[in-house]
Chains A and B, each alone.
Chain A
Amino acid sequence: MTELTRRGFNKGLGATTALGALSLSGIAPATAAGKAQVVVVGGGFGGATAAKYIKRFDPKIGVTLVEPSKRFVTCPFSNTVIGGLNTIDYITHGYDALKGLGVEVVHDSAAAVDGAKKQVRLAGGGSIGFDRCIVAPGVDFRWEAIEGLDAGTAARIPHAWKAGAQTLLLRKQLEAMADGGVFVISPPVNPFRCPPGPGERISLVASYFKTAKPRSKIIVLDPKEKFSKEGLFKEGWAALYPGMIEYRNLAEDGLVRRVDPASRTLYTDFGEETGDVVNFIPAQKAGKIAQVSGLADKTEWCPIHPRSFESTLQPGVHVIGDASIAAPMPKSAFTASTQAKVCAEAVVNLLRGAAPGAPKFINVCYSLVGENYGISVAMVYGYRDGRIVKIEGSGGLSPSGATPEFRRKEADYTRGWYESISRDIWG
């Protein structure tokens, strides 16, 4: 791989900007000093958005995106594939639009990100130099937290918490299940990607059972006391799937201690449940590249400066999306993408020697309880005293007891959101 970095670039650039050379055209003074290089690791919601928006803000900056997959399958709307409402093609996107914007896409994995040497080492050999790096690897699983399961047993007990083959596997198992069967699902402990995701999955499996396998049951073993949009989900389940879903939380012996993959049995403190199909979603941590590159702290997530998403552990390297510690923002695709835009802006400003602006973000998590029954939770976030804060008075849940018309509209907007955000990122 060629060394793409020009040393001393940042300093030169800062000086130019200070002289007021930045014109309204948005052309960075970088052109005079050489080409600034940003490497983005991960082509999911965070990384692909960051790559696009750096180009959008300043097409003169060189952007290389490192992502192993040629096609990205989104977790958002993967529950509709599991429920049989959509095909996997609907949630699969490519990188041609990004290439069209001038992003260089390298289909490889990053083996290490070295903030000191300003280099990303590739698994396939070679390395790429950077002035700034943006890391968005999503999550990995804490298999060590559950007895009996590992990456290998996922072929029998799918997590389907990374989309693609796992999504199709869970769908196939549900299709093969006889009517009257039992589906057992166990959501993870906090923090994890997509807090309302398990509720949506339970809903869309129930919607599939309702038409295809109406005598079947769903048992939920949740290690938490409460879950996202609980009241709205339970209201929807009572209306659409009465009697089908049995939900046990922490107080109701919902914490799974051990799983036997062979018999598909989950053991809790006081009992056990055997399923015909079992979906165990493991506890999570920042993606492996963050762990091996010194970007994660002892929580196994990545601390960042919220204004720029620059790592507090590795200067020059930014971490966005699920892997970052950005509470009170939840780990969602919307969050990852909106953080990526804030981060892209900060990176462009920093490369110009300017300070990043004060960020403001929206997150909305839509969920489908049924094909025509949507619910949402929203929040607007700002930046104050070095922290991301909720803007008082904003956000909140869809109303309970809303009309069917309201729920139908929110279901249409759920699809509208997916189509807009997918096109915004992958073209």
Chain B
Amino acid sequence: MTSKTMEGGQAIIRCLENEGVEYIFGYSGGAAIPIFDALVTTQTKIKFVLVRHEQGAAHMADGYARATGKPAVVLVTSGPGATNTLTGIMTAHMDSIPMIVLTGQSVSWMLGKDAFQEADIFGITMPVVKHSYLVKHANDIPRIVREAFHIATTGRPGPVLIDIPKDVSAGPCTADLHAEMDLPGYKTDYPVDNETILSIAEALAKSQRPLILAGHGAMISGAGASLRALAEKAQIPVTTTLLGKGVFPETHPLALGMLGMHGTAYANKAVCECDLLLNIGSRFDDRIIGQPARFCKDARIIHIDIDAAEINKMIRPEIVCVADAKTAIDELIKHVPVLETKEWRRHLDGYKARYPLKFKRQGSLKMQHIIDEFYKMTGGHACVATDVGQHQMWAAQFYKNESRHNWLSSGGAGTMGFGLPACIGAAFGRPDDTHICFVGDGGFQMTFFELATAALHKLPIKIVVLNNHYLGMVRQWQQLFYDDRKSGVDLEGNPDFVKLAESFGIKGFNLRRPGDVKRIVKSALDYDDGPCLINCEVEKTDNVFPMVPAGAALEDMLVEPPSTKLEKPTGST
């Protein structure tokens, strides 16, 4: 294979094969034709999935990566094809998802001359990629693809974009496909400093009310088993972020569930009352710390993160450790004694009993009821994708995750329209598992066209449209903070989602009464002839609690609906 002349596009496909790529999600177009042609001429085993919109391709790749832990590939054309992936790239960037985005580009000699479908996608995406390339010579392809996968998957992962002018993908490539990387500015070794580990162990040993906060970094690092060993050995309760869900089994006696804006009351109270917070791989996002100045005021804070730029960004910890989460935990376990935390744990168990997550099974149909039923019937072992809004927060609260790679939710970006395509991407990666997509009526309509992709490939996904006929999360804010002045939140004109599904050849169910929840959830789970959709006509004006208003401190959490009018929130969103 080496130094045989091939076209640039063919070299790209061969390099992707060398990286072990299974699927490419994408959409064709003029500037990318040589690469699409190479999919045929190379007779590659890589399967190409034609989506219905490039944003769908990006979210599918994202979902595939989250569900399998493997990097995913997107292939689109120049100009609008490339810009349509932007939201998907930003979403992946915010959540550290490894993704390679290949964009076709006008021919090199037309760059910067406003050629047909020329967009400066290299420039446009610069703030939302981990790295990017504009390929100038076909012989650079093997090195660039190698570097792109290396960068996307190591350290703190992220999306890498490769923009390929048409003359480059059509031009001759004679370079060795196993090219050397040239990345003198990129380091991937994070030696764990022994002194630091000892000082963390010492701080833990002195603590009476320790708490572990585990984030996406712990998940990405594959630290689940190590984390569990640490928590169990030292008897430390664990709370997780939205993206950390599943890194520690949520049904474990030491588990406190998710913290933050819509976290459990007991997790937030634990954060307020702990005397030591050990943060492993969370970036202290504003959704979880509320008001930085009042966060964990009386606790010693320790921060382990692979990304040095996260240290001291939001919070100034007392001890910091720039390292891979799993490596650091494995070292730490050796030095941590068994802690006497019985009283602290009993105290937190008291909170669990006093402030359980709850909802009413009678009266109007609740989203929580449906989510809870799915949780019970799947034993918490399905791969769950969510969209963004109220249903996302209830899914986080009521679908408890037992293991990693089973919780796909847009955290940092909060991208509506993410859920369905992410679920589809996950199902491509894990065709034998059960996939559930909890999606709001608003977000579903942002990317529902991918029903075609799901139907065509007969993917085993259960699409649960939690239909409150509102942009519910925004309506909740308007009700609580703006005297219930509804503005731009009424989704009048929603289609009949069951008929919509049926028009794609997808089985549809309607769910309207609490009494039908069990039966219909079971029917949906039993259905095994491709995707199915349940349109759930739920209570229109229910609100998510607990809630920490944006910018408020965790202590100001509202466990129940407030009886008085609230001040407008000071936080950003």
A, B bound: no
